[in-house]
């Protein structure tokens, strides 16, 4: 390699390094206030899914207008089906344009959702998180607690604050869970929410 070729090679390497650095710099660090606001959003989520308030729109408005919720078979997998849009999300919370339905028919009736071990990661678009979900009161017993996987979420900053772009309930044990498994009160919900088997979905 002559001196000219060596100089060209070094120039290409330098340009590649600068390009990589620029890409890394597109991730905007989160401030302490950002972390607190995202965790507050998650706390509001836990309350909203347990009670239908404002016709379910307190829950729906935790998302961006085209936000999506879905149940995924495992971490890192896309749900086989999702609920998307404000009215659809409000309906999933037991409400919708027609108002709240009988709370005793809600999937979340009598339950307390404990969202723990939150890990928030900044991204170029906003942030992502992974969380563990424990549910108290399953099976109609207020003393029974069950591990129900957790959540994988993407967040974006809006004029109204941080909101969910996507919120996946990662629920590997849904088929055998106390709340949704065979013989449970909400077995039919479990069937409709059950993720596609490995190899299906995205």
Q: What is the pLDDT of residues 50-67, one digit of tens each?
A: 889 999 999 999 999 999
Q: What is the CATH number of the domain that holds 57?
A: 3.10.450.50
Q: How distant is the alpha carbon of residue 67 from its chain centre?
A: 10
Q: Which residue has the higher pLDDT, 174 or 164?
A: 164
Of 63, 95, 92, which is closest to residue 162 (Cα–Cα)?
A: 63
Whether 1 is in a domain gets the answer no
- In angstroms, how far is the first alpha carbon of the chain from the final one? 47
Identify the pLDDT of residue 85.
Answer: 95
Whether 13 is in a domain gets the answer no
Q: Give the pLDDT confidence of 34-55 residue by residue, as tens digits.
A: 999 999 999 999 999 988 999 9
The answer to whether the predicted template modeling score (pTM) of the entire model surpasses 0.95 is no
Mean pLDDT of the chain: 84
Whether 171 is in a domain gets the answer yes
Identify the pLDDT of residue 132.
Answer: 98
Q: Which band of pLDDT confidence, cut at 50, 70 and 90, is reported for residue 182?
A: confident
Whether 163 is in a domain gets the answer yes
Structure tokens belonging to residue 18: 């600068």
Cβ-Cβ contacts under 8 Å for 51 (sequence gap 6 or more) = 103, 108
Q: Quote the domain boundaries for residue 41.
A: 28-193
Q: Which band of pLDDT confidence, cut at 50, 70 and 90, is reported for residue 17?
A: very low
Residues paired with 150 in a beta bridge? 132, 170
Of 159, 155, 191, 160, which is closest to residue 174 (Cα–Cα)?
A: 191
Cβ-Cβ contacts under 8 Å for 154 (sequence gap 6 or more) = 123, 125, 126, 127, 128, 164, 165, 166
Whether 2 is in a domain gets the answer no
Structure tokens belonging to residue 169: 């309930």
Whether 7 is in a domain gets the answer no
Structural domain count, the chain: 1
């Amino acid at each position: 390699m002559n001196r000219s070729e060596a100089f060209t090679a070094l120039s290409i390497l330098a340009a590649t390094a600068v390009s990589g650095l620029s890409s890394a710099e597109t991730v905007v660090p989160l401030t302490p206030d950002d972390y607190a606001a995202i965790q507050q959003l998650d706390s509001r989520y836990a309350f909203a899914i347990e009670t239908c308030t404002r016709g379910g729109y307190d829950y729906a408005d935790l998302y961006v207008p085209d936000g999506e919720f879905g149940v995924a078979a495992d971490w890192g997998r896309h749900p086989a089906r999702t609920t998307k849009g404000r009215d659809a999300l409000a309906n999933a919370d037991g409400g919708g344009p027609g108002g709240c339905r009988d709370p005793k028919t809600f999937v979340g009736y009598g339950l307390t959702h404990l969202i723990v071990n939150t890990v928030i990661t900044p991204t170029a678009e906003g942030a992502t998180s992974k969380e563990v979900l424990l549910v108290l009161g399953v099976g109609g017993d207020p003393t029974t607690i069950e591990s129900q996987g957790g959540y994988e979420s993407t967040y974006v900053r809006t004029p109204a604050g941080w909101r969910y772009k996507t919120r996946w309930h990662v629920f590997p044990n849904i088929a055998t869970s106390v709340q949704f498994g065979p013989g449970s009160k909400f077995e039919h919900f479990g069937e409709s929410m059950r993720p596609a088997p490995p190899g299906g979905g995205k």
